Homo-oligomer: A and B are copies of this chain.
Amino acid sequence: MTAAVLCIGTELTRGELVNTNAAYLCSGLTDLGFEVLEDVVVDDDRGRIIATLERLARTTSLIVCTGGLGPTTDDLTTDAVATALGVALKRDEGSVEAIRRRLEKYGRELTESNAKQADFPDGADILQNPIGTAPGFSVRIGKALAFFMPGVPREMKKMFEEQVEPRVRHLAPNTSCQVRLRTFGLPESAVGERLAGVEAAHAQVTIGYRAHFPEIEVKVLARAPTPGAARDACERATADVRARLGDVLYGDSDDTFAGVVGRSLRNKGLTLAIAESCTGGLVGHMLTREPGASDYLLVDAVTYANTAKTRLLGVDEDVIRGHGAVSGEVAAAMAEGVRRVSDADLALALTGVAGPSGGSPEKPVGTVYLAVTSAAGTLVKHRQFAGDRHQIQTLAAYAGLLLLKEIAQR
């Protein structure tokens, strides 16, 4: 069973953004058991959209398309599909209402350009968009089944998973089963070396890797003629992969590193206080992105200025003068200070040079000191990271979370 992916948008043909939608859809369709023959990007040109759809409809059985469903004049997809099919556009009042309600929630009124998003080629099967204003739709073009979704990745992914997958799953000849595992702590090549031989030991299984800095995701994909066989093969291989990865494996596809750390703290009944300098609030942001952080997080004092370290956390001015704000001594004093003012069980502090300026021969850009303190005492670590400002901040935040994880899982 063959498939093609079509992404529409001049922002893509001009190279203004990397087409992550195509990778997501190619991967999703492959996982479902389709053979993706090509993925195409065309600009916002009505004639090219029509010609490409007609061409793909001749060569593949399934076309999955994104983009060009927005409210502006450069959104031409729906119109192009109607032209290709030789049908009129028909406004769907249910969709108009859904868009109106959605806009109301944001205190906005429905305009004609919004209402245009409720126009569909006559006879189309409409796909609701619960998290955006552009609904999707499905039509048959020649012998191919074609789906059209918005280009916004978040909306597209939800629509694909909830509405496209259930409609196409039965068309795929093989069933597949995939498990995604999240790792932190080793580069991709080292993760690959740990997993060398897994594919040879499990015939129906393919191992894939994807880097999401600074993490490496491992995908275990099994394909078999029946769902049960695919699941069994996937489970056996996943057990093997888990054993080989050991403690660099931190969770499954829906986990985040901060979420796993937060869960460990909550399970242990530990409260946490944080003092950040070079990371500027990133550790707190990562933990509080996950719901439920209020169960354990008391405070995150981002003491960017030295005066703030002294006034809020009681860090001795002489310690800052003597050792510098970026030092193990100051990290320890920050951790102890924020634990004292918050009465938390556990406190983490980070201070470093995120760059691009501020480095010195003794403390180059990327130098980071971390401290964790509890009733048991204070532990200080020195790390040297490489990368740009954002990478250094991210690596420092991960290092801090890793320290907390080790303590909470002890």
Contact = CB atoms under 8 A, between A and B. Distances in A.
B189 A114 contact: yes
Interface string A134-171: 00000000000000000010000000000000000000
A210 to B, nearest CB: 6
Contact of A282 (B22, B39, B285, B304): B285
A289 B111 CA distance: 37
Interface residues of A, number: 103
A22 B38 contact: no
A187 interface: yes
A317 interface: no
Q: Is the interface of A mostly helix, strand, loop or mixed?
A: mixed
A193 B15 CA distance: 22
Contacts of A74: 207-209
Contacts of A209: 70, 72, 74
Contacts of A192: 71-73, 113
A360 interface: no
Given A72-B209, A299-B302, A302-B302, A23 B28 contact: no
Contacts of A284: 276, 280-281, 284-285, 302, 304
* Nearest 9 CB-CB pairings of A with B: A280-B288, A15-B27, A281-B284, A15-B26, A281-B281, A300-B302, A299-B308, A72-B192, A281-B285
30 contacts: A13-B36, A14-B208, A14-B221, A15-B23, A15-B25, A15-B29, A18-B22, A19-B19, A39-B41, A40-B40, A40-B41, A55-B55, A70-B209, A73-B192, A74-B208, A74-B209, A111-B189, A276-B284, A279-B288, A280-B285, A280-B287, A280-B300, A282-B285, A284-B302, A288-B393, A294-B358, A297-B304, A298-B307, A299-B303, A312-B342
Interface of A: 10-20, 22-30, 35-43, 45, 48, 52, 55, 70-74, 105-106, 108, 111, 113-114, 131, 152, 187-190, 192-193, 196, 206-211, 219, 221, 273-274, 276, 279-285, 287-289, 291, 293-294, 297-305, 307-308, 311-312, 341-343, 354-358, 386, 388-390, 393
